[in-house]
Chains A and B, each alone.
Chain A
Amino acid sequence: MSGSRLRSVATVIGLSIQEGLRKRVFLAVLVLTAGFLALYGLGAHFAFRDVDGFATGETEILDPRAFTGATIFGLAMFATLFLGAVLAVFLTLGVVRGDAESGLLQPIVVRPIGRTTMLIARFAGAAALSAAYVLIVYAAACAITAAAGDWTPDHLVTPALALALGVAIIAALSLLASTLLSVTAQGIVVFMVFGAGLTAGLLAQIGNAINSDSLHTIGRVASWALPFEGLYTASLHALISDTTGLTGVVLELGPFGGSEAAGPGLIAWAFVYLLGVLALAAFVFSRRDL
């Protein structure tokens, strides 16, 4: 990429960040996230305090701290993904069609920056901010869980990176939707796709619990069709992948049921998928009359 193009990318990313700061989007996100983390901290505190009251006999066969920690942290992971997805969608809302309809886009794209560079810059800005946000919330939730119950996930880094990659994919899907749909339709469609992915994951979980191959297959197909779901499931798996015995079995019956390791295949596919979605968005954008 040439120097001038890189400068243009940096300018558009800077514009997005400046806009977020001036419109107090980041301040609102910060306040709401602090609220979520405070609530999570409170929940973790009471959950660990209550399981400390388990009888000695029970704790010999089930590790209550591991069970509680993994369960509430799994919930925090879901919330982190959801909040990251909300941020990714809002940072890419109306980027193409919406801004073109309001007249914001034209003065920018008639400059030498060009459409593809503009799109890449908007993706880079949204994906980097959403991914950074997810990593920060993940780390905070992890620290709260460790402080409240002295429990940490079996794998610390890989689930965080998988979640970050997941929200980057959501940002790319939202950007693609913005090339085709008006602002409201874009928001609705992306959140419906997000919901559909998570629902498919739940189906796989139910399939696992009732030993249904069909439901399990639906879940697996959805994981590949919407890799953010596969990455989320893989993140959940990584939290407890080294937990054995009855604790591991009980956790598999809960929100972690059906979770599978990401494996290099899914990670590689997620990157190919991401690039494919961006390429399609750039193609649609390049052919759109503004």
Chain B
Amino acid sequence: MAAPVLAVKELSKRYGKQQALAGVDLAVEPGQLVGLLGPNGAGKSTLTKIACGLVRPSGGGVEVLGRPAGSPEARAALGYLAELFRFPGWCTADELLRLHQRLAGSAGGEAERRELLDLVELGAAADKRIEAMSKGMQQRLGVAQALVGSPRLLLLDEPTSALDPVGRRIVRELLEELRRRDVAVLLNSHLLSEVELICDHVAIIAGGRLIKAGTPVELAGPAAVEVETGSGVRTFEGATREDAPRIVAELVAAGERVYRVEVRHSSLEDVYLEAVGGQTG
């Protein structure tokens, strides 16, 4: 397996008396889309900021493509969109991307800027001032800005929080396109359905600790077998797909007529709520 694009090892961060992160391990492989979930204040943004070099860790470390987070080489390999961001209002979309091309040392020129604006469906707004854009447009522009210089790793902190359903779909399709281009993405989000839909891997953190990680299918394990019989719907909690034939056989043997059998998985929301124990920030 290729070396991870992002390697988080025993990461801890303390703000005064508050422990924001307490020994988190996480890896993002090339082309992998990892969703980072957790209640407000769980440490998701802190982890992302440490990976960008914006915040210094108290312990452990983060490497981007084998380079320490915050080093010029690590910063050159990533694109970042903060949860709370602002761009100069007097700039146009095209000027902002041009500025970031210069800062990132990108030689993509106008073609790159046009492609990025088209990717986030802002091609027609290239000459529009940022202050005249809606929050959703600014957020999509932020995603385009993060993609300047073709980064190998994209760190997105709540990139769809201000987007309407159409804007969310645009970003979702963009993320799928990035996966095809082998770009690794760490996505902080509260939108569980979205994460479940597009992420290859999900990590749930709460109280600064990683409490659950795996693919959405692994996390949303079988929760029950539901059987519709002549006497009503019966649910066998904890039963798996392999249990279904036995359950049906036993019901038939007991004289029940079976009309429908369904192996029910728990949704990511169920997993999340169980993992964080109802915590909210």
With contact pairs A289-B54, A289-B55, A290-B55 given, residues A19 and B90 touching in the complex (Cβ less than 8 Å): yes
A228 to chain B, nearest CB (A): 30
A112's partner among B15, B54, B80, B103 (CB-CB below 8 A) is B103
Given contacts A8-B102, A11-B99, contact A107 B80 (CB under 8 A): yes
Task: State how many angstroms separate the Cβ of A41 from the closest Cβ of chain B.
Answer: 34
Q: 10 closest Cβ contacts across the A-B interface?
A: A111-B103, A22-B90, A290-B54, A103-B86, A103-B85, A11-B102, A289-B55, A112-B76, A112-B72, A110-B52
* Known A19-B88, A23-B90, A104-B86: A109·B102 in contact at CB below 8 Å: no
User: Chain A residues with Cβ under 8 A from B81's Cβ?
Assistant: 107
| Contact B90–A112 (Cβ < 8 Å) | no
What's the Cα separation between A112 and B64 when bound, in Å? Answer: 13
CA–CA, A112 and B52, complex, Å: 10
6 contacts between A and B (CB under 8 A): A7-B102, A22-B90, A106-B85, A108-B103, A109-B53, A290-B54
Q: How far, in angstroms, from A153 to B159 measured CA to CA in the complex? A: 61
Contact check, A4 vs B55: say whether CB atoms are below 8 A apart: no
Tell which of A107, A108, A109, A114 has the most Cβ of chain B within 10 Å: A107
Closest chain A residue to B157, Cβ basis: A106
- In the complex, whether A56 has a CB less than 8 A from a CB of chain B is no
Determine the distance from Cα of A163 to Cα of B80 in the docked complex, in whole angstroms: 42
Distance of A127 Cα from B104 Cα, bound (Å) = 25
Q: How large is the interface on A (under 10, 10 to 19, 20 to 34, 35 or more residues)?
A: 20 to 34
With both chains docked as a complex, state the minimum distance between the C-beta of A3 and any C-beta of chain B, in angstroms.
10
B100, A111: Cβ atoms closer than 8 Å? yes
Chain B residues closer than 8 Å to A244, beta-carbon distance: none
B201 at the interface (CB under 8 A from A): no
Beyond the given pairs A106-B80, A112-B104, 8 more chain A to chain B contacts, judged by CB atoms under 8 angstroms and listed by A's residue number, are A11-B102, A15-B99, A111-B104, A112-B72, A112-B103, A112-B105, A289-B15, A290-B54
Residues of A within 8 A of B15 (CB): 289
**For B105, what are the chain A residues with a Cβ–Cβ distance below 8 Å?**
4, 7, 112
How long is the Cα–Cα vector from A111 to B99 in the complex, in angstroms?
11
User: Which B residues touch A22, using CB under 8 A?
Assistant: 90
Beta-carbon contact of B56 and A107 below 8 Å: no
Select from chain A the residue with minimum beta-carbon distance to B72: A112
B80 proximity list for chain A (CB < 8 A): 106-107, 110
From residue A150, how far is it (CB to closest CB) to chain B in Å? 46
> Bound state CA distance, A104 and B86, in angstroms?
5
Q: Which residues of A contact B76 (CB under 8 A)?
A: 112
Contact B90 A114 (CB under 8 A): no
Asked if residues A11 and B86 are in contact (CB atoms below 8 Å), the reply is: no
Shortest CB-to-CB span from A10 to chain B, Å, is 8
Which residues 1-21 in A have Cβ within 8 Å of B in the complex? 4, 7-8, 11, 15, 19
Q: Contact at A103–B82, with CB atoms within 8 Å?
A: yes
Chain A residues within an 8 Å CB radius of B72: 112, 114
CB-based contact A107/B54 at 8 Å: no
B106 to chain A, nearest CB (A): 10
The reply to whether A290 and B49 contact each other, CB–CB distance below 8 Å, is: yes
Report the separation of the CA atoms of residues A264 and B253 in the bound assembly, to the nearest whole angstrom: 106
Cα of A113 to Cα of B103 in the assembled complex, Å: 6
